[in-house]
Amino acid sequence: MRLSRYFLPVTKETPADAEVISHKLMLRAGLVRQTSAGIYAWLPLGFRVLRKIEQIVREEQDRAGAIEMLMPTIQSAELWRESGRYDAYGPEMLRIADRSDRDLLYGPTNEEVITSLFKDGAKSYRDLPRNLYHIQWKFRDERRPRFGVMRGREFLMKDAYSFDLDEAGGRISYNKMFVAYLRTFARMGLRAMPMQADTGPIGGDLSHEFIVLAPSGESEVFFHESWEQPRTAEDYAVDVEDSAALQAFVDSMTADYAATDEKRDEAREAEMGDALRESRGVEVGHIFFFGEKYSKAMGLKVSGPDGDMVTPLMGSYGIGVSRLVGAIIEASHDDDGIVWPESVAPYKIGLINMRADDETCTAAADDLYARLEAAGVEVLYDDRDERGGAKFATMDVIGLPWQLIVGPRGLEKGVVELKNRATGERVELAPELAIGKLSG
Amino acid sequence: MRLSRYFLPVTKETPADAEVISHKLMLRAGLVRQTSAGIYAWLPLGFRVLRKIEQIVREEQDRAGAIEMLMPTIQSAELWRESGRYDAYGPEMLRIADRSDRDLLYGPTNEEVITSLFKDGAKSYRDLPRNLYHIQWKFRDERRPRFGVMRGREFLMKDAYSFDLDEAGGRISYNKMFVAYLRTFARMGLRAMPMQADTGPIGGDLSHEFIVLAPSGESEVFFHESWEQPRTAEDYAVDVEDSAALQAFVDSMTADYAATDEKRDEAREAEMGDALRESRGVEVGHIFFFGEKYSKAMGLKVSGPDGDMVTPLMGSYGIGVSRLVGAIIEASHDDDGIVWPESVAPYKIGLINMRADDETCTAAADDLYARLEAAGVEVLYDDRDERGGAKFATMDVIGLPWQLIVGPRGLEKGVVELKNRATGERVELAPELAIGKLSG
C-alpha cells in the first residue's frame, strides 16, 4: 500500500482521557478513533491488526475442533427471561425497545442464544460433543469506559460454547480450549498466564482467566518467576485427542503458581520466597465449565444411547479480540511507539523513500515496492514528498517490524538500509539481498 | 469436515411465514435460524457462504482502490443531528438510550460517522481522492421483516464512501464502484442489471441500483433481452485508471435498457418491441453520488492546492452481503434444493460414504477424504451411519457443486461415482481420476 493513497492520520497530541500507553499509542498511530464514549472506529491500519488477531484466534479454535458460526448482535429479552438472567444482569446490559415495543438487548454474551439454537438442532447423543464458536461484536454499557479498546463498550469477542454428555467429556472440552488459549496468545507474542478464577454471573465451578502483564491491568497478579520465560506455541504441543495426555498437560501448566488477588495462596507464596513475582495484569481470555446451568433452565435435552433423555453439560470460552490489540501494545512498545510482533503487525515492512523529489531514488524505491509486493510481502510504502525525519517518526510510532530505507547516498554505494524496529539494529545491504531476506 | 462432528440441522418442514423459496431452502438446508423477528443466526454452513460472499466483495473493493476499515454498530445520535437526519429518519432507525440516558442508535448506514472521521483525519487536497469502506452489521427496524435474510432487520452490508475534490473526480470514483459492482455480482454467478434510481433519503443526483431477477423481488423491472446473456467478470475488464475508457465503459453498460417501475421510458420500450422483458427483481447493490450534502452539513473542508479551503464531494456505495445469500438461492435452485455457484459454495464437494457399517467402503471413503483435504479441497464428508437415501437428500438440499459417492458395488469395479449437482450428470471413475478432476 502506498501511503500517498492510504488513510493514516498519525498525531502527536492525545486527549487527556487517554491515560494508558496503549490507548495513547493507538490514537497517535492512527489505529482507532473514538466515535462515542467507549465506542471506537477501527481505521485502516488498526483494522488490519484486528483481523490478524482474529485470524490467529480462528485458526486455533478450528485446530481444537470448534466449529465457527455467527450469532446476531441483537437478542430477544425473552431468552434471557428463560435463563433467569434478564433481571439479574445489571445496567451493563444495553436494553432496547423496538418500534413495536418488544424488549431486545445488545448481546453481552451468548449462552442463551446458543443453548436455544443447539436445542433446536441437536436431538441425540450422536450430536455431541460439539463446540460452536463465533467472533462477533458485543456491548457492555460500562459505567466508566476507559483505557481505549481495553475497556470499551462495543468490543469484539470470540465466544465458544461446548456441549457434552457427561462430566468427563466436559472436562476434555474444557482442556482443549485451555490448550488452544495458551497457543493463541503465544502466537501473538504474549505471555498469558492461566489463573484460577471465580465463575461470577456465568455460574459453574471450574474456571480460568488468562492474564497478560500490563501496568494498566485491572487486577493485581502474583506468580512464580518461571512464567517470565518466553514460550512459543510449540511449547504447547500436545495431542488433544489423547485425553490422559491432555489432562496431564493442563495439570503441568497449572503447577507453576499464578494467582489473582482474590485467589492467593499464602502458604505457597511463602515457600516460593524470592521466586514470587507481583504485577498488574489484564484479562485477555476466560474459560468456564458450568455444567447444566443453562441447558437445565432452558430445557435442552438429547436422547442418550439407552433411550433416556440426557441434559448436556456446557462450558463457555471467551477471548477479548479487540482488547488484545491494546494488551499487545501494553506488552510491546518503546519510547518511540508500538513494536508489533510480526504475527499481528499490520504490514511486515515500512518502505521509506527518503527523497520523493529525486527520480533515481524514487525509481529504486518503486522497484523495491513492486518486487516485494510481487513476492507477496505486506509493505506499507511511504512514497510521500515529506522530510525523512517525519517519515522515520511515523514508521517508528506505527511499529512495523522492518523499515527499509532508500536514500540517494546509499544508492550511490549500491545499498539500502534495513532497520529492525524491535532491536533498532541497522544494516546496509544490496537491494537484492534485502528482498531475499524480507521475502523469507 | 466430517458431518459426524458438524452442526447441520437440516429439516423437512418450514414455518408458514417462510413464503419465498430462498427462505424455505435456507431453513431446510440448516443455513440460518431466526432468533427474533427479522434477526438470524448463521449456522456453520450458512456462515461459510456469508464469508465467501464477503470475501468476493472485499477483493473487488480492494481491486478498485477502496481501503477497508471498520466502523462500530452503535452510533451517537449527536452526529445525526449535525447532518439533520436524526429526526428525518423514520421508525426504521433503532433508537437506544444508554445507562446515562444518552441517545444512541444502531447504525442503518454510515455517512455521518465516516464524514466525521474523514474530517478528523484529512487536512489537505493531498489526502484526496479516497474511498473508505467497511463490512459491518446494520439494523433497520422494518415494520414487516420477511423473506428471511432478504429483508431482515439485522443485516450485513458493505458500505463504501468516496471523497473527491471536484465533480469530475467524484464521477471517476463513482464509475470505479460501478465496474466493481458488475464484477462482484458476476463472480457470484449473478446477472445484476444497473438501473437508474432515485436517490431518496441519501440525497444527490446520480444513482444506480443493481438488481438481480427473483420472483420475491420488491420491484418490477423492465429490460432489454440482451441482459439475459450470461456474463462473467472478464466481460467487465476495463482499465479503471484510464478515466475516459472508464466513462465509455460505464456508458456502454447503461446503453442497454433496464429500468425499475418508477423509471420506465415508454418511448424506448415501444422501440424495443419483442426484445422487452419484464420480471421482478431484488436490489443487491445501490450506489450514490451526492456531492456536498454531508460534507457541507458537517463542516468537512480540506485545504486546496492554492491554499483555499475546499468542501469535498462524496458518494456512497452499498452491497447487501447477507441479502445476497438469499438472492443467489433465488437465482440458483431446483426442486431438490440449492444449487450453489462454485465461487460461493460452502464446500466444493460432498463426499458420501454409502455404507458406514462396511469396513472396506469406509476405508476407501476415509482415504478419499484425507487426500482431498491434503490437496486443499473443501470437502464435507458424510461419514454418518445413515441410509444412502437420506444422505443423497441432504446433499441435494445443501447444494454443494459436486457429490462424490463411495459404495461397495462401485468399489468392487474399482470406481466411485461423481455427480454434478447443477446438471445432475453422473459419471463413474477411478478414485485417482476423481481426485485429479476435483483438485483442479
Tens-place pLDDT, residues A167-197: 999 999 999 999 999 999 999 999 999 998 8
Interface test with A, best of B74, B82, B298 (most A CBs within 10 A): B74
Domain A3-338 annotated CATH 2.60.40.10: no
Query: What distance in Å separates the CA atoms of residue B31 and residue B9, rounded to the nearest whole number?
Result: 8
Nearest to B36 among A5, A36, A74 (CB): A74
Residue B328's pLDDT is 97
Residue A205's pLDDT is 65
Interface test with B, best of A70, A135, A137 (most B CBs within 10 A): A70
**Is the CB of residue B245 less than 8 Å away from at least one CB of chain A?**
no
Report residue B232 as a C-alpha cell.
Answer: 462473467
**Is the CB of residue A390 less than 8 Å away from at least one CB of chain B?**
no
Interface of A with B in 393-422 (CB under 8 A): none
Nearest to B7 among A6, A40, A67 (CB): A67
Cβ contacts of B154 on chain A, cutoff 8 Å: 72-74
Nearest to A41 among B42, B69, B94 (CB): B69
Interface test with A, best of B55, B62, B98, B162 (most A CBs within 10 A): B98
Query: What distance in Å separates the CA atoms of residue A81 and residue A87, rounded to the nearest whole number?
Result: 8
**Is the CB of residue A55 less than 8 Å away from at least one CB of chain B?**
no
Angle B86-B70-A157 from CA coordinates, rounded to 5°: 105
User: What percentage of chain A has pLDDT greater than the value 90?
Assistant: 90
Q: Is there a contact between B244 and B251 (Cβ–Cβ < 8 Å)? A: no
Q: Is there a contact between A118 and B120 (Cβ–Cβ < 8 Å)? A: no
Structural element, H or E, at residue A23: helix A21-28
Please give the mean pLDDT across all residues of chain A. 95
Mean pLDDT of A392-409: 98
**Is the CB of residue B252 less than 8 Å away from at least one CB of chain A?**
no
**Is the CB of residue A12 less than 8 Å away from at least one CB of chain B?**
no
Cβ contacts of A117 on chain B, cutoff 8 Å: 33, 35, 41, 43
Residue A133's pLDDT is 98
Phi and psi angles of residue A204, each rounded to the nearest 5 degrees, phi first: 100, 180
Angle A232-A233-A237 from CA coordinates, rounded to 5°: 125
Residue limits of CATH 3.30.930.10 in chain A: 3-338
Interface of B with A in 147-166 (CB under 8 A): 153-154
Q: Is the full-model pTM beyond 0.90?
A: yes
Q: Is there a contact between A325 and A110 (Cβ–Cβ < 8 Å)? A: no
Mean pLDDT of A221-243: 91
| Separation in Å, CA of B222 to nearest CA in chain A | 35
**Is the CB of residue B69 less than 8 Å away from at least one CB of chain A?**
yes
Mean pLDDT of A369-385: 97
Cβ contacts of B39 on chain A, cutoff 8 Å: 72, 74, 76
Residue B119's pLDDT is 98
**Is the CB of residue B139 less than 8 Å away from at least one CB of chain A?**
yes
Nearest CA in chain B to A91: B99
Residue written as grid cell 447477507: B322
Residue A216's pLDDT is 79
Residue limits of CATH 3.40.50.800 in chain A: 349-439
Interface test with A, best of B1, B26, B70 (most A CBs within 10 A): B70
User: Digits of tens for pLDDT over chain B (440 positions)?
Assistant: 999 999 999 999 888 889 899 999 999 999 999 999 999 999 999 999 999 999 999 999 999 999 999 999 999 999 999 999 999 999 999 999 999 999 999 999 999 999 999 999 999 999 999 999 999 999 999 999 999 999 999 999 999 999 999 999 999 999 999 999 999 999 999 999 999 887 666 556 689 999 998 888 888 999 999 998 888 888 898 999 999 999 999 999 988 899 998 889 999 999 999 999 999 999 999 999 999 999 999 999 999 999 999 999 999 999 999 999 999 999 999 999 999 999 999 999 999 999 999 999 999 999 999 999 999 999 999 999 999 999 999 999 999 999 999 999 999 999 999 999 999 999 999 999 999 999 97
Q: What's the Rg (C-alpha) of chain A?
A: 24
Least confident of A86-90, A250-254, A258-262, B212-216: B212-216
Query: What distance in Å separates the CA atoms of residue B378 and residue B346, rounded to the nearest whole number?
Result: 8
Q: What residues does A207 pair with on adjacent strands? A: A288
**Is the CB of residue B96 less than 8 Å away from at least one CB of chain A?**
yes
Name the E strands within A165-293. 192-196, 206-213, 219-224, 258-260, 276-291
Q: Where are the alpha helices (DSSP H) in B200-348?
A: 243-255, 266-272, 293-297, 321-331
Q: What is the interface pTM, i.e. ipTM, of the complex?
A: 0.96
Q: Is there a contact between A240 and A64 (Cβ–Cβ < 8 Å)? A: yes
Query: What distance in Å separates the CA atoms of residue B73 and residue B271, rounded to the nearest whole number?
Result: 48
Mean pLDDT of A342-371: 97
| Separation in Å, CA of B36 to nearest CA in chain A | 6
A217: pLDDT strictly greater than 60: yes
A258: pLDDT strictly greater than 60: yes
Least confident of A63-67, A145-149, A396-400: A145-149
| Separation in Å, CA of A270 to nearest CA in chain B | 45
Q: Which CATH class is domain B349-439?
A: alpha beta
B9–A39 CB contact, under 8 Å: no
How many pairs of residues across A and B have Cβ atoms under 8 Å apart? 169
B42–A113 CB contact, under 8 Å: no
Q: Please give the residue that has the higher pLDDT: either A213 or A197.
A: A213
B102–A37 CB contact, under 8 Å: yes
Residue B217's pLDDT is 84
Query: What distance in Å separates the CA atoms of residue A337 and residue A208, rounded to the nearest whole number?
Result: 32
B122–A7 CB contact, under 8 Å: yes
**Is the CB of residue B15 less than 8 Å away from at least one CB of chain A?**
no
Cβ contacts of B346 on chain A, cutoff 8 Å: none
Cβ contacts of B30 on chain A, cutoff 8 Å: 121
User: What's the longest Cα–Cα distance across chain B?
Assistant: 82
Cβ contacts of B96 on chain A, cutoff 8 Å: 94, 96, 106
Within 8 A by CB and 6+ apart from B1, the residues are: A67, B347, B379, B380, B381
A84: pLDDT strictly greater than 90: yes
Q: How confident is the model at residue A440 (pLDDT cuts 50, 70, 90)?
A: confident
Nearest to B154 among A9, A73, A384 (CB): A73
Q: How confident is the model at residue A201 (pLDDT cuts 50, 70, 90)?
A: low
A204: pLDDT strictly greater than 80: no
